[in-house]
């Protein structure tokens, strides 16, 4: 989550309360470029204040009726109606996955459309992706018996340590006959630690084994569109690394993560966000969402560029292989990668209208072209290089 604001009061006013009752499956990440480093944690707490107690609000809590606009969206998703003109596939897929998940987890009032949707998808690709997600999320959930046993041993260990420290202080004061008692308590504490380590290792091995089962199920998932392929690939990377107890990625895995993370999430689907979360383990990164559609919200805070209007900057061809032409009055053009790192820069006379940039040496991929005039950025355009 990225905010380009610099006002903590405004962040708080536009905040979102988070019910934090379970640890995250993926690492969370925040970036506040215009807030001093010392205030970054405060900014995060103001923007997403955490509610540690109670139950997260739901539309149907205590039998309440859903707001009509939410109900309408659910019905549209259940009927497979178009929810977005520019990104119909990925948006509908995400909405139907969320609806199926809610119907699976909660008891809903009877509704013919929703009931038919749920029953019809019992053995479809939609339910298969959901079951994979459900299994993946369960990897880090201990059974009640495991939780109780670990908590009991932890409490006993804390008590033993307190008694050992007490005996140590008395021994230091000259009461030497307590040394054998202290040693016995230390041995008891060591045995508890061994028991805890043994149970944790059993839990880890069970997790690794189940992750292997999920990997097989993930490989069997059908994927005919990019948002399904992205999610499947992100699942594969997670189950092959984090779920196996590893937090590092090899070069090929890193390249795959970055190729997914740099996509437009409205067309690339949920897998884009999964990949971005995982990529934070490689390096702390801020991704800029600039999609092909003009109505797409830009994560960088910039307004979408109309290449023929507004900024007066026109970039072509795009995708480009070799020489790029830029039309418009500007004093500098920068090419940056998806992490915002500068790759190439050229200065121009402010009186020049047409500029030629040789891109032969750059590897193919997604970049961003930034045009400047008198030290002010006037345009940012998504650039696809196909060298």
CATH code, domain carrying 370:
2.60.40.3080
Q: Which domain holds residue 188?
A: 144-218
- Check whether residue 113 and residue 148 sit in a common domain: no
Distance from C-alpha of 363 to C-alpha of 256, rounded to nearest angstrom: 15
Give percent above pLDDT 90 in the chain.
Answer: 30
Determine the average pLDDT of the residues in 347-353: 86
Kindly report the pTM of this predicted structure.
0.57
Domain presence at residue 250: no
Domain presence at residue 298: no
pLDDT digits (tens, 9 = 90+) for 88-126: 899 999 999 999 998 998 777 778 898 999 999 999 999
Domain presence at residue 293: no
| pLDDT at residue 291, as a whole number | 66
Give how many domains the chain has, as a whole number: 4
Domain presence at residue 2: no
Helix (H) or strand (E) holding 339: none
Domain presence at residue 131: no
pLDDT tops 60 at residue 313: yes
Cα angle 259, 262, 268 (rounded to 5 degrees) comes to: 90
- Alpha-carbon torsion (121, 122, 125, 131), positive or negative: positive
Average pLDDT for the chain:
82
For residue 366, name the pLDDT band (cuts at 50, 70, 90).
Answer: confident
Domain presence at residue 294: no
Residues in the chain: 387
- Check whether residue 209 and residue 159 sit in a common domain: yes
pLDDT tops 90 at residue 131: yes
pLDDT digits (tens, 9 = 90+) for 283-308: 777 676 656 543 333 333 333 333 43
- Check whether residue 362 and residue 327 sit in a common domain: yes
């Amino acid at each position: 989550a990225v905010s380009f604001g610099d006002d903590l009061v405004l962040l708080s006013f536009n905040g979102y309360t988070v019910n934090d009752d379970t640890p995250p499956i993926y690492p969370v990440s925040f970036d506040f470029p215009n807030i001093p480093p010392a205030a970054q944690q405060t900014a995060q707490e103001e923007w997403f204040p955490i509610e540690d107690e109670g139950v997260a609000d739901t539309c149907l809590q205590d039998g309440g009726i859903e707001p009509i606009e939410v109900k309408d969206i659910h019905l549209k998703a259940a009927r497979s109606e178009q929810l977005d003109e520019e990104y119909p596939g990925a948006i509908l897929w995400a909405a139907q996955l969320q609806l199926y998940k809610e119907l699976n987890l909660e008891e809903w009032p009877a509704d013919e459309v929703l009931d038919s949707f749920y029953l019809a998808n019992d053995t479809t690709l939609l339910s298969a992706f959901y079951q994979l997600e459900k299994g993946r999320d369960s990897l880090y959930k201990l059974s009640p018996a495991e939780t109780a046993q670990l908590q009991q041993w932890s409490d006993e260990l804390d008590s033993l340590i307190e008694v050992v420290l007490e005996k140590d202080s008395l021994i230091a004061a000259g009461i030497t006959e307590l040394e054998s008692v202290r040693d016995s308590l230390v041995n008891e504490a060591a045995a508890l630690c061994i028991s805890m380590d043994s149970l944790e290792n059993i839990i880890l091995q069970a997790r690794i084994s189940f992750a292997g089962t999920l990997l097989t199920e993930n490989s069997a998932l059908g994927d005919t569109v990019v948002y399904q392929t992205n999610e499947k690939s992100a699942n594969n990377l997670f189950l092959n690394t984090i779920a196996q107890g590893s937090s590092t990625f090899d070069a090929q895995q890193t390249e795959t993560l970055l190729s997914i993370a740099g996509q437009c999430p409205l067309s690339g689907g949920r897998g884009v966000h999964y990949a971005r979360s995982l990529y934070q383990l490689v390096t702390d990164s801020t991704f800029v969402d600039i999609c092909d559609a003009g109505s797409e919200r830009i994560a960088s805070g910039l307004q979408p560029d109309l290449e023929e209007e507004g900024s007066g900057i026109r970039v072509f061809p795009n995708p480009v292989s070799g020489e790029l032409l830029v039309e418009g009055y500007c004093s500098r053009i920068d090419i940056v990668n998806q992490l915002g790192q500068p790759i190439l820069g050229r200065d121009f006379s402010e009186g020049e209208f047409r500029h030629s940039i040789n891109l032969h040496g750059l590897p193919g991929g997604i970049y961003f072209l930034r045009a400047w005039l008198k030290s002010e950025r006037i345009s940012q355009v998504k650039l696809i290089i196909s060298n």
